[in-house]
Amino acid sequence: MTRRNPIGPLIYDSDIEGTVRRNCREIRRSLNYIEEEQEVETSTTEEMAENSPLPPEVVENHAPRTMYDYAKPNLTGTESSIVRPDIAANNFELKPNTIQMIQQFVQFDGLQDEDPNNHLANFLELCDTFKINGVSDDAIHLRLFPFSLRNKAKQWLNSLPRGSITTWEQMTEKFLLKYFSPAKTAKLRNDISSFVQMDLETFYDAWERYKDLLRRCPHHGLPLWLQGQTFYNGVKPSTRQLIDSAASGTLNNKTPEATYEFIEEMSLNNYQWQVRRTKPTKAASVFNLDAVTMLSNQVHPVMQCDTNGGGVSNTEYPPYNPSVENEQVHYMGNTFKSQNNPYSNTYNPGWKNHPNFSWGGQGNQRQQPPPNFQQ
């Protein structure tokens, strides 16, 4: 073997044709052996498949389906959208009283005027009243929360993709995103920034209404200093002057924390004085009752007089006679009306013109006939 020829020296073969034939036979034998090995492996695999059949569900899934199979209902669409965590405790049980309390006191219908944050706060407050060893809070919350929804809210929860909620954080995120839309957030933020004290609204009522607006939108994003400034600018000038006087100059000299505490304390003091100076209304109710009683006592004898019939004798209230009343009415009507009818049944100045009652005996004299009258 040299550097130029790494294979080595060539060996002379006097029967080269025979050598080629032998090499070809060996190659054919090796190929036939490989094919036989593959056939053996294939037959072995088929035998194993025959001896170990596939599970029935796999065979059913691969079997051709009929039209009835496509129209047949199944339980796939009835699965819950909540994946409830596994619980290691074997004695875990939700008490019926707990479920009944949630269905009675903590309910959310999904209406426009309902507060989803308030619903979550009430739900968590009730769930915090009990603890179970070996059970996480997420497992309890995810199992009890569907009982707090009804009507449209329950339909929304059932419409979510199955298994899409695995944690309590995902549940609250989807719930608030559904029932606290960006448009509602923008409206509540606008109500906070445009706060104005009403004409007949006291300082205490104005402050409580402003805090209620802040509670209804916890994610308003307003810092504490801007909250105090918005309320200070929204009150009436007289209320603003009262705040500055109580703050010994101006409210702007205080820190945001001190400003919030000062307004809270001043509001509570205003409420206490308002309660003390409120007039009692019970005396007015007693007076009105006495007045009604007096009027009833006055009307009672009159009603007895009107209902007294002719068959019952009553010396104090005589029986009702419509003919006497009509004569009295006619008399009162004729008193102020002058009647000079000479032929009336009662005396009046017109009787002097009556032929039988004329003065001076003119009724007995024969009247003169008119001219050109022949008897």
Q: Which pLDDT value is given to residue 224? A: 93
- The band of 67, judged by pLDDT with boundaries at 50, 70 and 90, is confident
Identify the burial level of 123 via C-beta atoms within 10 angstroms of its C-beta, where 0-12 means exposed, 13-18 middle and 19 or more buried.
Answer: buried
Q: Which pLDDT value is given to residue 80? A: 81
Q: Which long-range contacts (CB under 8 A, 24 or more apart) does 169-175 make?
A: 171/82, 171/141, 171/142, 171/145, 172/120, 175/116, 175/120
Does the pLDDT at position 93 exceed 80? yes
- 22-31, 67-76, 211-220, range with greatest mean pLDDT: 211-220
Mean of pLDDT values over 275-279: 54
- The band of 26, judged by pLDDT with boundaries at 50, 70 and 90, is confident
Does the pLDDT at position 33 exceed 70? no
Q: Which pLDDT value is given to residue 283? A: 47
Q: Which of 16-30, 103-117, 124-138, 152-166 is the least confident region?
A: 16-30
Q: Which pLDDT value is given to residue 170? A: 93
- The band of 181, judged by pLDDT with boundaries at 50, 70 and 90, is confident
Q: Which of 148-152, 169-173, 298-302 is the least confident region?
A: 298-302
More confident residue, 7 or 42: 42
Say how many C-beta atoms besides its own lie within 10 A of residue 127's C-beta: 18
pLDDT tens figures, 311-342: 444 555 555 555 555 555 555 555 545 556 66
Q: Which pLDDT value is given to residue 120? A: 95
Mean of pLDDT values over 9-19: 69
Residue 76: CA atoms inside 13 Å, Cβ hemisphere, count?
4
Contacts of 52 (CB under 8 A, 6+ apart): none
- 74-83, 143-152, 273-282, range with greatest mean pLDDT: 143-152
- The band of 20, judged by pLDDT with boundaries at 50, 70 and 90, is confident
CA gap 217, 144 in Å, rounded: 25
Q: Collapsing DSSP states into helix, strand and coil, what is residue 222?
A: coil
Please name every residue paired with 108 in a beta bridge, in sequence order, or none if there are none.
149
- Residue percentage of the chain with pLDDT more than 90: 33
Q: Which pLDDT value is given to residue 24? A: 78
102 in Cβ contact with 166 (< 8 Å): no
DSSP assignment of 130-182 equals ---TT--HHHHHHHHGGGGB-THHHHHHHHSPTT-B-SHHHHHHHHHHHHS-H
Does the pLDDT at position 4 exceed 80? no
Instruction: Please state, rounded to an integer, the average pLDDT across all residues of the chain.
Output: 76
CA gap 159, 79 in Å, rounded: 10
Q: Which residue has the tokens 């029932």?
A: 179
Which residue ranges make up each domain of the chain?
96-179, 184-276, 283-335
Q: Which pLDDT value is given to residue 286? A: 46
Q: Which pLDDT value is given to residue 187? A: 92
Contacts of 14 (CB under 8 A, 6+ apart): none
Closest to 145 (Cα-Cα) out of 84, 79, 219, 76? 84
**E strand intervals along the chain:** none
CA 246 vs CA 198, 250, 265, 267: distances in Å: 21, 9, 11, 12
Mean of pLDDT values over 258-265: 92
CA gap 146, 103 in Å, rounded: 10
More confident residue, 302 or 157: 157
| Maximum alpha-carbon separation in the chain | 207
User: Is pTM, for the whole model, over 0.85?
Assistant: no
Q: Which of 188-197, 205-214, 358-367 is the least confident region?
A: 358-367
Does the pLDDT at position 184 exceed 70? yes
Does the pLDDT at position 46 exceed 60? no
More confident residue, 365 or 39: 39
CA gap 209, 257 in Å, rounded: 20
pLDDT tens figures, 358-370: 555 554 555 555 5
CA gap 81, 31 in Å, rounded: 60
- The band of 203, judged by pLDDT with boundaries at 50, 70 and 90, is very high
Q: Looking at this protein, which amino acid is placed at residue 3?
A: R
Mean of pLDDT values over 105-119: 92
Mean of pLDDT values over 185-214: 93
